[in-house]
Amino acid sequence: MPPQPLVDLSTIDMSQVLADREAIAQINPQRYEFAQLDGIIAFNPETGEVVGYRDVRDDEFWVRGHIPGRPVFPGALMIEAAAQLVSYSVMNRTQGEGFLGFGGVEAAKFRGAVVPGQRIIMMGKPLETRRRRHVGATQAFVDGKMVFEGTIIGMWV
């Protein structure tokens, strides 16, 4: 049985976008096909809790080859989206040199397939903050069902 959601989605106005792709790009350095977040719909600067989304489209670079005839959103890109969500939260709340880069992932579990046409709701919550390292719990949901969970480690690059 999956764990409880990090954030109670019933308290979130899913129609209100706090930051779109352009606003996210003001914080995160990823661009073009590697910008994995489409919007931020909730952010608490005091606790660092953040909720964002990723719309999976059928015209993305990976669709043709992963898996032909039955495209499935790659787990590596889901981890990248979770890392970008953690980065957005940390870089909004702290001052560091450079940007928060990917330092690792622990306890990653994929609980369902994600296909083009679906919206992934991503949520993150800080677990540990140090001068050079930040750790955050992340989860992803599609249609109310958890499809991913993992702990993201970020480091200043």
Residue where the block lists tokens 């949520």: 123
Backbone angles phi, psi at 40, to 5 degrees: -115, 125
Enter the tokens of residue 77: 């890109």
Q: Which residue in 5, 17, 23, 66 is the catalytic one?
A: 66
Closest CA to 123 of 84, 157, 72, 95: 84
Catalytic status, residue 134:
no
Residues 4, 115: Cα–Cα separation, whole Å: 23
Distance separating alpha carbons of residues 36 and 77, to the nearest angstrom: 7
> Strands, DSSP E only, in the chain?
19-20, 39-43, 50-55, 100-110, 119-129, 133-142, 145-156
What distance in Å separates the CA atoms of residue 147 and residue 157, rounded to the nearest whole number?
29
Q: Which residues are catalytic?
A: 66
